[in-house]
Each structure stands twice: as structure tokens, then as C-alpha cells.
Chains A and B, each alone.
Chain A
């Protein structure tokens, strides 16, 4: 495999074949509650993609230049979650002071993101898989876009679903999970597409 193409392969694999939501179930909580509306889904999707790509790079640097040399890798959970929380807080403050429009659109989603498992998950996967900085960035970006794609598709379907007749016990979370399952099946169809030889 051509090593220069590897980050790109990981990028597309993270969006389609191994979508972080549909194959690893990460970020389900906010997915189930927010996917009711198209507009909020877009807002959260953008915020997640941005935070995911940035924190993956930050955590990679912290891990490689601080935790590894000092043999503190067992502290990575605490350190990663603090980096994510601090980054989200910082972005919130910057947006609040510089752009009112952006803050109105994304501001409310930022606190939700700290507890989104997908963000921490991407950082942990990156460490276990020993990615380089470049690959980590593309992996973070791809996973974020993959999550965005999944929530966008789900919100689109749920808008239509509002007019459908769903069995009472399956309303809400139940039917959303069924749709997520069908989406996961559909995404499995991508699995042969990304091949680099």
C-alpha cells in the first residue's frame, strides 16, 4: 500500500465503511435526542466535525510530546477529556466574543459536545492504532464528517417519519434505532469500495 495514500484511505473509511456512529455506536446519546430536527442536526454536525478534527490533533500532540516521553500514558483518559473540555470552552468564548451570528447558531451545541463519546473515542482509537499526526487529522475529520452525514440522513428521515404511523411502543427511540440499523446495513455496502493496492 502506498503510504502517502494511507491518510486518505483512513479518511474515507472513517466516513463510509467504518462510520463512528453506525459501526462503533459512539455519539448515540446526542444522536437520538438531536436528530429530530434538520436545522439543529446541521448545527451539531458542524460543531462535532470541527471539534473532532481539532481535538484529535491536539490530543495527538499532547500524547506524543508529553505523555509518551514521561511514561504517563496511563493518565491519557483524564488528560484527553480535559483537553477536549478546555478546547470546547475556549472555542465557545472566542465565538461568543467575535461572531454573534455563529454563536447563535452553534453556541448551544458546544457544551453538549464535551460529553459526546465520539470525540473522546476518536482520540482513543487514534492512540491505539498508532496513527501519525497527518493520519490522525484525517481520521478525526473523516469521523466527524461521517457522524455529520449519519445525523443529517437520520434527521431527514425523521422529518418524513413525523407523518408515518408508528406502533406506540416503537415511537421515539425505538424507531430511530431501527432506522439506524437499516442505515448501518446500507453503509456496509460501501465496504468493498475503498481499496488501495
Chain B
């Protein structure tokens, strides 16, 4: 029983309740850095870390939070974890930190983190909230990683900065420019909804 709940908590955000293509949430802060796979990996790890630990922390103190200042407390705790990510990146990965610029800070306003805190962490035990946060973060991460992979490959002919396509390849510059991300995400949502979500609707 407990085990199946755990499994369900973990699997739902990865599949049929994926925050990106079902709810289209939280893409703001990360979409901008998906023109390079390396930056996207760092950014999504940051989001996973923050979602996981803020859900856990909020769940720990959920019985003591006064209802009126709930949002303030949530924001405060999320911001703290984001600053931790920011400081660690600045100290250990300064090159990537420079490239990400303000986008690390914008994890604070990522709707997924606040959304999981409100919808799950405030009503569930810390352990389960941790799993839920991790799974939501992962569900979000893999969608953006796929987008980043395709954008970098088509846009620059390389993956992780290493040239993989030969001279015959003409770079689709539009892919690394802003419109590319919109089109990629739209196509991705379309493909997923057409092929995997259809049966569910007919149920």
C-alpha cells in the first residue's frame, strides 16, 4: 500500500501529469537557456534541487505555518534554495554561471516549484514530498533536455559543444534564436498529445 503510493507519486509527474506538456507550467525560466545542452543540464539540475528540497522543507514545517503568511514563507524558502544554487554555481562553475546570468534567480518564480509546494507538500509527509518534488523536477528536466538537444543539434550542428555533423550540414540559425524554442515546444507538445494522451481521453 505505502509502496504503491510512493511509486505513484514518483511516476505520475513523469508521465500522464507531466508539468510541461500537460499543464505547460514553469517553462519561463529555462526555455531561454535551451539553445545549449550544457546550460540546460545545469539549469534543470538547479530546478530539481530546488523543487525537491523546498517541498521537503515546507512539508516538515507544514503544521506550523500560519495560513495567512503561507505564500511569504513558501517564497522565502524557495528563494533560499535558489540562492544556494546560485552561490554554488558561482563558486564551482563560474563559466556556466556567467552564461546563465539572471536565469538562475528566475527559478524562484518557476510555477512548478510553487505549484508542487501548494498542491502537494502542504498536505503530505516530508518523505513523500521529497519524492514528488524530485519527480516533478525530473519530468520537467527531460522535456527541456530533449528540446535543448534538438535545438543545439539543428542550430549549430553540435552536441555539448562538440561538432557532430559534418561540413555538409547547414546550421539552422533560427533554432538557436528565440522563435526556435516556441516551435520546438509546440511540436513536442503536439507529438506527445497526439501519440500518448489520446487513449487516456477515450477512457
* Direct A–B contact in the complex, CB atoms closer than 8 angstroms: yes
Using a CB–CB distance below 8 Å, which chain A residues touch chain B?
22-29, 32, 74-78, 81-82, 85, 114-118, 120-121, 124-125, 127-128, 167-170, 173-175, 177-178, 180-182, 184-185, 188
Partner of A120, one of B72, B87, B109, B192: B109
Chain A residue, CB-CB nearest to B114: A115
Inter-chain CA distance A129–B111, complex, in Å, is 26
Chain B residue, CB-CB nearest to A185: B179
Shortest C-beta distance, B36 to chain A (Å), equals 15
Q: 1/0 per residue B163-203: CB within 8 Å of A?
A: 00000000000100111111101100111111001100000
Q: A167-B190, A177-B182, A181-B183 are in contact. Are A29 and B82 (CB under 8 A)?
A: no
Shortest C-beta distance, B171 to chain A (Å), equals 16
Partner of B186, one of A29, A82, A117, A170: A170
Q: List 5 A-B contacts (CB under 8 A).
A: A26-B29, A177-B182, A178-B186, A181-B181, A181-B182
Chain B residue, CB-CB nearest to A21: B28
Interface centre among A76, A77, A184, A188 (most CB of B within 10 A): A77
B26 touches A29 (CB 8 A): yes
Shortest C-beta distance, A11 to chain B (Å), equals 19
B32 touches A77 (CB 8 A): no
User: Hey, which chain B residues are within 8 Å of A182, CB to CB?
Assistant: 179
Main secondary structure of the interface of B (DSSP, over half): helix
Interface centre among B24, B106, B182, B189 (most CB of A within 10 A): B182
Q: 1/0 per residue B21-38: CB within 8 Å of A?
A: 000111111011000000
User: Hey, which chain A residues are within 8 Å of B186, CB to CB?
Assistant: 170, 174-175, 177-178, 181
Interface centre among B75, B105, B181, B185 (most CB of A within 10 A): B105
Inter-chain CA distance A25–B35, complex, in Å, is 13
B181 touches A25 (CB 8 A): yes
B102 touches A124 (CB 8 A): yes
B24 touches A32 (CB 8 A): yes
User: Hey, which chain B residues are within 8 Å of A82, CB to CB?
Assistant: 75
A-B residue pairs, 3 tightest by C-beta: A181-B182, A124-B102, A177-B186
Chain B residue, CB-CB nearest to A80: B105
User: Hey, which chain B residues are within 8 Å of A169, CB to CB?
Assistant: 189-194, 197-198
A178 touches B114 (CB 8 A): no
User: Hey, which chain B residues are within 8 Å of A174, CB to CB?
Assistant: 186, 189-190, 193
A78 touches B80 (CB 8 A): yes
Q: 1/0 per residue B60-96: CB within 8 Å of A?
A: 0000000000011001100110110011000000000
User: Hey, which chain A residues are within 8 Å of B82, CB to CB?
Assistant: 77
**Does residue B43 face the partner (Cβ distance < 8 Å to A)?**
no
Shortest C-beta distance, B143 to chain A (Å), equals 13
**Does residue B47 face the partner (Cβ distance < 8 Å to A)?**
no
User: Hey, which chain A residues are within 8 Å of B25, CB to CB?
Assistant: 29
Shortest C-beta distance, B102 to chain A (Å), equals 4
Chain B residue, CB-CB nearest to A111: B71
Chain B residue, CB-CB nearest to A118: B28
Inter-chain CA distance A22–B80, complex, in Å, is 29
User: Hey, which chain B residues are within 8 Å of A175, CB to CB?
Assistant: 186
User: Hey, which chain A residues are within 8 Å of B86, CB to CB?
Assistant: 74, 77
User: Hey, which chain B residues are within 8 Å of A28, CB to CB?
Assistant: 27-28, 31
B179 touches A188 (CB 8 A): yes
Interface centre among B76, B101, B180, B193 (most CB of A within 10 A): B193
